[in-house]
Amino acid sequence: MAKEKTQYTCNECGGSSPKWLGKCPHCNAWNTLIESVAESSAPAKNRFASLAKTAEVTTLADIDASDVQRTPTGHDELDRVLGGGIVEGGVVLIGGDPGIGKSTLLLQALDSLQRSGQKTLSAAGPPQGAKAPSGGSGPRAAGQRGGTLYVTGEESGAQIALRSRRLGLDGSQVSVLAEIQLEKILATLAHTQPAIAVIDSIQTVYSEQLTSAPGSVAQVRECAAHLTRAAKASGTAIVLVGHVTKEGALAGPRVLEHMVDTVLYFEGDTHSSFRLIRAIKNRFGAVNEIGVFAMTERGLKGVSNPSAIFLSQHSEPVPGSCVMVTLEGTRPMLVEIQALVDSGGPSPRRLSVGLDRDRLAMLLAVLHRHAGVACTDQDVFVNAVGGVRISEPAADLAVMLAITSSLRGRALPKGFIAFGEVGLAGEVRPAPRGQERLKEAAKLGFSVAVVPKANAPKKNDKTFEGLTIHGVDRIEEAMELARNLG
Ligand SMILES: Nc1ncnc2c1ncn2[C@@H]1O[C@H](COP(=O)(O)OP(=O)(O)OP(=O)(O)O)[C@@H](O)[C@H]1O
Ligand SMILES: [Mg+2]
């Protein structure tokens, strides 16, 4: 293929230069020039002429838009984060630490998609002529196209085959392509027309058009853009595996996350076998949904009742522990918050794992000012059990109760849960979807709940059988209640 001309474009001002420079000659910004393919310089007249021909305006009502068609992957937990399944022409970016299980999960998903695709085909016969939406030949339904394709740039075909044997996917009909050159991958995609293709990973793919090394910002951006375009044009769903940086963010340009339809993060503690998959962005579903998996010798298995994982197993209540109900996407989950308050040195430490440290400092100040609980000369450690990360403020009340419980050395009562946001004025604010949280707690056999007054059900409400619910307005009230109950 003839090599196209490349140029270096400034990220800041858009100015271009024929060769790489440390400093942009236009805006004087440092280290902002990124390699890109130079656009062909067609005469200006022709360019406008072609533009005039392509523009066609339609009203929204005239566009034939059926609901997005989703193909379930056969893994409920993965489908949950995807918003129901793989969408045709959709592009998913999945990132995660090395060795967390990205390739394993995707291989399992491809295998079950391939199997279900074959079943659909044999049950329904060859696909009918696809109904083309206005404006050209449209994509056919995923699962009825030509199966699945696993493009691997990191491992050899033999390694993938070995993994598939280990996972018990004997006789898997997933097609594998060991290739890292973008042009060849695109040609294969166009030729084989798979329903879904996995690119493992986008950092290993390189385009011939650019001279930069694979994995560089320019290469990743260019390759992802081409693959996204191919997905939209052909209807093939593409899953890109992305590396993460040392800080845990997706490596490569930030623009990658804007380009794709769905961004998933695979996270988990390397010491535990549980893995969480979290939707950060989803154009086809809710975000902040999580899927929970357990890594076993036979691959990743979905965990349908994750609440049990995040509670540590105490036979009797211990001081410094308080269970809360957090809402991850649409799913309420019980998580144990643990606190340890211990006498510290001259500059006491405040450490939190799985919770925001600034918020912890704020809660300690509120605790001191409004509830008269002082931890000024104490080290305070707070941990969300099970490696889960809680970002919602509804954890406030549980954190404060756990800290107080540890400080006083008195356990909260058995079967106790609490949730609610606490403000700087000491007020307890309602948490979204309180009823669902309470329902989950009642389902799992909890007996006492301290919640914001606005979340407490009416007196004669019989929905939460077995759960005594105390509604509180202020943090003082919550502390008083905990003291009396404990
Ligand atoms: N025999 C085995 N028994 C149990 N678990 C295994 C076995 N072999 C591998 N694993 C698990 O699979 C993980 C590797 O999974 P996988 O290769 O899918 O990760 P990955 O996210 O694709 O990694 P990378 O970023 O290196 O591509 C290992 O960390 C380990 O937990
Ligand atoms: Mg891998």
Convert the pLDDT of each residue in 67-90 to its tens digit: 778 889 989 999 989 988 999 899
| Count of structural domains within the chain | 3
Range list of β-strands (E), 172-309: 175-178, 196-200, 237-242, 262-268, 274-282, 290-296, 299-302
pLDDT grade for 173, boundaries at 50, 70 and 90: confident
Residue 130 domain flag: no
Q: Are residues 390 and 457 in the same domain?
A: yes
Give me the mean pLDDT over the 289-312 stretch: 82
Residue recorded with tokens 């609901």:
67
Assess whether pLDDT exceeds 60 at residue 22: yes
Atom of ligand 1 at shortest range from CA of 243: 25
Rounded CA separation 102/219 (Å): 22
The closest of 300, 322, 296 to 405, measured between CA atoms, is 322
Q: How many residues does the chain have?
A: 486
SS3 192: helix
Q: In which region does residue 451 sit, left (phi positive, over 0), alpha (psi from -120 to 50) or beta (all else)?
A: beta
d(C-alpha 202, C-alpha 227), whole Å: 10
Give me 277's structure tokens.
């998959």
Average pLDDT value over all residues in the chain: 84
Residue 88 sits in the same domain as residue 30: no
What is the number of the ligand closest to the CA of 104? 1
Same domain flag for 94 and 222: yes
- Same-domain status, 340 and 242: no
Separation of CA 112 and ligand 1 centre (Å): 19
Q: Which of 271, 304, 337 is the last residue of a domain?
A: 304
For residue 198, what are the domain limits? Answer: 69-122+141-304
> Is the predicted pLDDT of residue 329 greater than 50, yes or no?
yes
pLDDT category of residue 125 using cuts at 50, 70 and 90: very low
Please tell me the predicted confidence (pLDDT) of residue 134. Answer: 38
pTM of the model: 0.73
**484 compared with 137, residue with greater pLDDT:** 484
pLDDT band with cut points at 50, 70 and 90 for residue 48: low
Q: Give yes or no: residues 261 and 316 share one domain.
A: no
Atom 11 of ligand 1: nearest residue by CA position: 101
- What average pLDDT does the segment 457-466 reach? 78
Domain assignment of residue 132, yes or no = no
Closest C-alpha to ligand 1, atom 29: 99
Low-confidence winner among 67-71, 182-186, 224-228, 425-429 (lowest mean pLDDT):
67-71
Which residue do the tokens 């166009």 mark?
190
Best of 78, 93, 94, 104 to mutate for ligand 1, by most ligand atoms within 8 A of CB?
104
How remote is the CA of residue 159 from the centroid of ligand 2, in Å? 10
Residue 287 pLDDT level (bands cut at 50, 70, 90):
confident
